[in-house]
Structure 1
């Protein structure tokens, strides 16, 4: 019998089987029990940790990284609760904080499974943080062994190259680094990120294929393959995969097929052993899974 999955089109399971311990390194939980920030229109209903468990059953992942969504601002209670619900041995989180966050709060977040902080600055709308906060916060979380996760557009990455080079901690770029398609490899941001990756502390999330693809689902997001494969070739030990569920940028009627997105990884990383590295070994290292 077909099963409907919240915020996910289609009902089939992926053709590509997830290895044991596979991690979805980028998803969000929305829950009205917790404080909202900015426009309430950005709220996504039926996207709790319990709803996400249905997606886990569909794609076969066992570990999860919960990324604090913009609509919940800097109240990371929703993410901490999701980590507990999904299981502290199998879930980690990425928080959003501001420079006035106390050391005690950072320690509390760490104990709750947080291993990084995110700066969602690709658009200024409802942003809880700013570019001026990146460096001081990076200095503080570096002492905890955390990383900074950046959802910036390609022009922002290129324009802040000097800032990025100064950061002391690990850097994780969201969604293939949001390079424009076609022509991703020729954008100045590609060289900026490539130089950072040469330093050995910069990672890429193989996620969000639908965000910049021009071919779209009808074309199998095939135009994302060259940039995804370029990131994998550069440093296969520093890429992770994420679903981006519940796909908050997409309309309720236009949610992507998560089985298709998971199978897309098979084209991006056709070697099975290397794909296991992307799904299991790499996220275990980056997110401190035992």
Structure 2
């Protein structure tokens, strides 16, 4: 007789074409889950889907989705339910960023970062919770950032959007306490070695680089999977520097604000100047970025 435990989980991974999203999809694949992979880029998403099949996924579906467009997000969940009957886990890993002083980042680029990172996350949460609350079960994972609890210069739209995502996670945890089997998880990575550095919008004049303290995407993916094994909602900082950095931000703000700009410039940017670019804020570049 088939039991509920014998039925593979149905997992939607958004931002699955690279970075944290790709590694998250592969982690669930090794568990034999049924996957629905979403991102804006078709070619790279199809390639990840094939890797997931080889890694052990029971079934894999692909849905091109711009999470900034609410209708596309609802269609993503409709496709998952139509094919697999339900959704057990929704992991929102997609994000974009733009570097530069606040006043130098064009308004449309600033708004585009906020549209994807914040309104996109809200669109995913709205669609997921509509399904989960009807079923009275499910895991929603929103990937935020260390920069959602600690501000740094020259990434204002990203910092703003990630602070708001952290707040959204807390609000959703509060609002869904009446259904304990509907779990809300916030995962907050520090620096992660993903394509986001090479595909970001840039109005600072210098190319970003992966900081030496960056974790591999698989570290964050493993934290996402562990969260969805929990029986209750959760929030977790992921990264060795996260807690010391947060303490410094909160306990010695004057010193922190004085040193963080020069420190970020030294460890996070190349010395050679580059031209301004919107990167992939408005569309797909060579690789879809994830947080």
TM-score for both structures, normalised by structure 2: 0.36
TM-score for both structures, normalised by structure 1: 0.36
